[in-house]
Amino acid sequence: MEPLRPGHTSVPGKTEPLDLIAQARAGDTQAWGDLYREFAPAIFRFCRRALPSKEDAEDATMEIFMKLRDKLAQYDTSRSFSAWLYKVAANHCWDILRRRKARHEKDMDDVDDIPLEAPEPNQLERLIEERTSEEVRKALDKLGARARMALVMRYYSDMSYDEIADALGVRRPFVGVVLLRARHELRQALGENTALAMGGTR
Amino acid sequence: MNDTGNSTNKHLDEITLLLYVERQLDRASAQEVSLHTQTCERCLTLLRALDRESRLLTRSMLEQDEPLPARLAEFHAQARKSMQWIWGLVFGMALLGIYSLYTVYIEPWEQQFEQAGFGGTNLLSLLVFQGAFWKGWQSMFTLVEFVALTSFAAFAFFLVRKYLKRGTALAVMFASMSLLMMTAASTPAQSVKIDTDMKGQKLEVKKDEVLRKDLYFAGSQLRIDGTVDGDVYAFAQEVDVSGHVTGDVICFARSARITGQVDGNVRSFTNNVTISGTVAKSVTTMNEDTRLDSAGKVGHNFSAFSQIVTVDGKVGRDVLVMFNEATISGTIEGNMKAKGESLTIASGAQIGGEAKFEGEKPADVSSGATLASPLQFTKIEHKSRTERGVGHYIWRVVWAGAWILLGLVLISLMPGFARETVESAERYGASFGLGVLVFFGVAIASLIACITIVGLLVGISTFFLWLVALFSSYVVVGAVVGCWILGKSTDFWPAVGRMALGVIIVVVATGLPHVGGWIMFGVWLWGMGAISLALYRRLQPMIAPNIPSMPAGPISTPLPPNTTVSPA
């Protein structure tokens, strides 16, 4: 059986928790508890990947679930609940990161048009071979907000390019560029302390 | 799709390969890439590397490297804890409010009344705990005892709450409240059993009748020609006392007339009151028209806060009057202190003590009046709003500082609630709508609760909560305004900075001439509405307790790659 993916919308055998949602909408505390129990860990990990600190992620998770109370009425039950939930979470995290733009970020608005040099394939293979998941997670912390957000939306919650474009406020054709630049940033961060010189890094 | 290099060494660019890996290319382009990578080793290697990079990214992200923090696992409990902070703070501020109210308003009044000859009776006890309104309460409760008892009950409930289920807790709470109310209501009322409590349209105590208990009356007309051996409490359109009342007369009426004898005090909150009989003790009135006729006598003090005051009779001690228009033509054996627009001391008037008048223009004193000492006149200076003194601005700064301090405390103690309140404030329509409801509705409800004996506890508590919300509204609106200017922040100090900036702006805006008052009113409505909305949302059922700290969610299993690329 195919394992579940947060944002996966068409996993065979997976049913949407429609009953729970209906009960939660009606104010059923137990249903809220069940929904929270089911989705809070995933949303927390999403926030943990997307935001700079654990405290931020905890705050954001709580805020997202508080928001959920108001927004649940807007949920279209014909669509995937988890996908919708990730969209809410992505928008919330991106809002948080945007608010910090003035202090930390420099690349939030426009897609950078500096051309990227293609990496040396073998070096890239070697880099990927040698890096662990933990190192990748640590390297994520060094990325700019948009790069990090794009990678999390795509590779954690499996959001579509359209959804990513919508959340980040970029045009759909630029999503690939954003993701590619994010990967370059990540490679640079991963290779920063090693002798590996990535051909395509900025 | 772009190729790089010359025809013999053409390579696909990285973005094309990435889009292929991500399955974002159309069929034709994908086929081109597929064909190309069959013959180009370099592009195939890069394609595989990108695919492996995707897998590495997905794996890294989905790995459960840390459990759900306890704070999140106990989210609901956390919310409840923060509510406890809220109630603690609210209770503390309520106490502060009581103290402030006492020192700022009641104490000066008390001194005024004492100066006016009320002796040991202070306004607080007069209005709230003294026998005139709730006889017997004073022996049981002082304000401090009352607050202490409430605090103790709340603390005891807090200690044992974990042993109580919700239903039991509610039952205990309501039972306690009922017990307290029953005690409060029954104990002082024992001496005033309601068998003389007359409710009806009209009541007449006839000339030869003697009523040996206190008389409570609510109706259209009360007429006492006989004797009431006790106090009279009347809520009526017309009250006429031509007989004899041995106690006090307390009346809320459209029109009151005392032509007989009252051995105690007269407290009147009416449209007009005329005293042409004898009141052995003091008279206190808040009316439109207060008249002490030439035949009227007041043994002790005469205090009137009315539009028109006429003192033609005799007052045994001091007179304290505030008015638009007053005429003194009778005898005042003590001091007179008057404040108002126009004062006439007519011929035949006698004032035995000091006479002071504070008004806009000097009093018209007839040569036929006899004053023990010359009338001391103090002119009231009306400063226009544009001519504010330095003191005004200093106080504005002090208030701004107080609000910022309050905001600092609120944000540090209740960051989550503070954030929710600001978010609620951003729902402008809901905030203002609820603000109007709370501003008027709660104030009126607390007033109604206060004027009934049973609702005193609820009334005072509600009123102070209302005051706290009113006071805090500046902080809430300040925080929103700060966020408008500097953007939102969830960090502590940036949030405080935004709030402080906003509060300063709000204080400046509310101090503007002409529009400042309206802005202040808007701030009250908006802020109170936001606080109420946030509280309402907090009190809604949210998350069930007992959430495991390490739950297995739907995404807990590792993800195999779904971006498999067939390099063909």
Q: What is the pLDDT of residue A164?
A: 92
CA distance A170 to chain B (A): 17
- Max CA pair span of chain B: 130
CA-based nearest residue to A96, from A117, A118, A67: A67
A69 token code pair: 């109370």
Q: Please state, in angstroms and rounded to a whole number, the distance separating the CA atoms of residues B432 and B128.
A: 33
The minimal CB distance from B560 to the residues A3, A122, A124 is found for A3
Task: Provide CB contacts within 8 A for B126, sequence distance 6+.
Answer: B113, B118, B132, B133
Q: How open is the CA angle B529-B533-B539, to the nearest 5 degrees? A: 145
**Burial of A10: CB neighbours in 10 Å, binned 0-12, 13-18, 19+:** exposed
Which 67-86 residues of chain A touch chain B by CB within 8 A? 69, 82
Per-residue pLDDT of chain B (568 residues; tens, 9 = 90+): 555 544 445 788 888 999 998 889 989 999 999 999 888 888 898 898 899 899 889 988 888 777 888 777 766 544 444 445 555 665 666 666 666 666 666 666 666 555 544 444 434 444 444 433 444 444 444 444 555 556 566 666 665 554 554 445 555 555 665 555 555 444 443 333 333 444 457 788 888 888 888 888 877 888 899 999 888 888 888 899 999 999 889 888 888 999 999 999 998 887 889 999 999 999 988 878 899 998 999 999 998 888 889 999 999 989 998 888 899 999 999 899 888 888 889 888 999 888 889 888 888 888 888 888 888 888 877 655 555 667 778 888 888 888 888 888 888 777 778 888 888 888 888 888 888 888 888 878 777 766 655 456 677 777 888 888 888 899 999 988 988 888 777 677 888 888 889 999 998 888 888 888 889 989 999 998 888 888 877 765 444 334 333 333 333 333 333 433 333 3
Which 252-291 residues of chain B touch chain A by CB within 8 A? none
Handedness of CA A186, A189, A192, A195 (dihedral sign): negative
Q: What is the pLDDT of residue B173?
A: 58
CA distance A126 to chain B (A): 9
B400 token code pair: 């701004």
Q: Please state, in angstroms and rounded to a whole number, the distance separating the CA atoms of residues B350 and B361.
A: 21
What residues in A contact B71, CB-CB < 8 Å?
58
Task: Provide CB contacts within 8 A for B298, sequence distance 6+.
Answer: B275, B279, B282, B283, B292, B313, B314, B315, B316
In angstroms, the Cα distances linking A104 to A152, A182, B154, B489 are 19, 17, 47, 13
Task: Provide CB contacts within 8 A for A139, sequence distance 6+.
Answer: A131, A186, A189, A190
What residues in B contact A52, CB-CB < 8 Å?
none
pTM: 0.40
State the residue for tokens 């502590």.
Answer: B492
What residues in A contact B552, CB-CB < 8 Å?
41
Q: Say yes or no: B61 contacts chain A, CB-CB below 8 A.
A: yes
Q: Please state, in angstroms and rounded to a whole number, the distance separating the CA atoms of residues B170 and B541.
A: 16
**Beta carbons of B45 and A121 less than 8 Å apart:** yes
Q: Say yes or no: B566 contacts chain A, CB-CB below 8 A.
A: no
Q: What is the pLDDT of residue B149?
A: 59
What residues in A contact B2, CB-CB < 8 Å?
none
Q: Please state, in angstroms and rounded to a whole number, the distance separating the CA atoms of residues B250 and B228.
A: 13
B162: Cα separation from own chain's centroid: 30
CA distance B549 to chain A (A): 9
CA-based nearest residue to B232, from B552, B220, B244, A26: B244
Q: What is the pLDDT of residue B135?
A: 41
- Max CA pair span of chain A: 59
Q: Please state, in angstroms and rounded to a whole number, the distance separating the CA atoms of residues B7 and B9.
A: 5
CA-based nearest residue to B292, from B273, B266, B311: B311
CA distance A202 to chain B (A): 14
**Beta carbons of B14 and A180 less than 8 Å apart:** yes
Q: What is the pLDDT of residue A46?
A: 92
A99 token code pair: 């608010």
CA distance B268 to chain A (A): 51
Residue A66, pLDDT > 80, answer yes
CA distance B309 to chain A (A): 58
A185 or A10, greater pLDDT? A185
What residues in B contact A29, CB-CB < 8 Å?
541-544
**Beta carbons of A136 and B56 less than 8 Å apart:** yes
Q: How open is the CA angle B440-B444-B445, to the nearest 5 degrees? A: 115
Residue A114, pLDDT > 70, answer no
Q: What is the pLDDT of residue B245?
A: 93
State the residue for tokens 């009779």.
Answer: B313
Handedness of CA B548, B549, B550, B552 (dihedral sign): positive
B233 token code pair: 């409490």
Q: Contact, B305 vs B288, CB < 8 A?
A: no
B107 token code pair: 């104490």
Q: What is the pLDDT of residue B193?
A: 37
**Beta carbons of A42 and B48 less than 8 Å apart:** no
Q: Say yes or no: A112 contacts chain B, CB-CB below 8 A.
A: no
In angstroms, the Cα distances linking A51 to B114, B173, B175, B295 are 65, 44, 49, 84
What residues in B contact A38, CB-CB < 8 Å?
551, 553-554
Interface test with A, best of B23, B25, B47, B53 (most A CBs within 10 A): B53
State the residue for tokens 């009209």.
Answer: B202
Q: Say yes or no: A55 contacts chain B, CB-CB below 8 A.
A: no
B141-145: long-range pairs with CB below 8 Å, 24+: B141/B184, B143/B98
| Strand duo B3-4 + B11-12: pairing | antiparallel
In angstroms, the Cα distances linking A80 to A18, A75, A88, B29, B139 are 10, 9, 13, 30, 68
In angstroms, the Cα distances linking B126 to B110, B134, B201, B333 are 10, 9, 29, 24
| Strand duo B319-328 + B202-205: pairing | unpaired
CA-based nearest residue to A39, from B404, B393, B553: B553
Q: H or E element: which one contains B202? A: strand B202-205
Q: Please state, in angstroms and rounded to a whole number, the distance separating the CA atoms of residues A5 and A154.
A: 11
Q: What is the pLDDT of residue B533?
A: 84
Q: Say yes or no: A150 contacts chain B, CB-CB below 8 A.
A: no
In angstroms, the Cα distances linking B72 to A16, A187, B554 are 23, 33, 17
| DSSP string for residues in B85-111 | HHHHHHHHHHHHHHHHHIIIIIHHHHH
Q: What mean pLDDT comes out for the span A81-107? A: 79
What residues in B contact A17, CB-CB < 8 Å?
none
Beta bridge partners of A73: none
Q: Say yes or no: B555 contacts chain A, CB-CB below 8 A.
A: yes
Residues in chain B: 568
Q: What ipTM goes with this model? A: 0.84
**Beta carbons of B45 and A42 less than 8 Å apart:** no
**Beta carbons of A176 and B18 less than 8 Å apart:** yes
The most confident of the ranges A69-83, A148-162, B82-96, B200-214 is: A148-162
CA distance B542 to chain A (A): 6
Beta bridge partners of B290: B273, B309
Q: Contact, B337 vs B329, CB < 8 A?
A: no
Interface test with B, best of A122, A133, A159, A201 (most B CBs within 10 A): A133
The minimal CB distance from B489 to the residues A38, A99, A151 is found for A99
C-alpha neighbours within 13 Å on the C-beta side of residue B271: 7
* Phi, psi of B15, rounded to the nearest 5 degrees: -65, -35
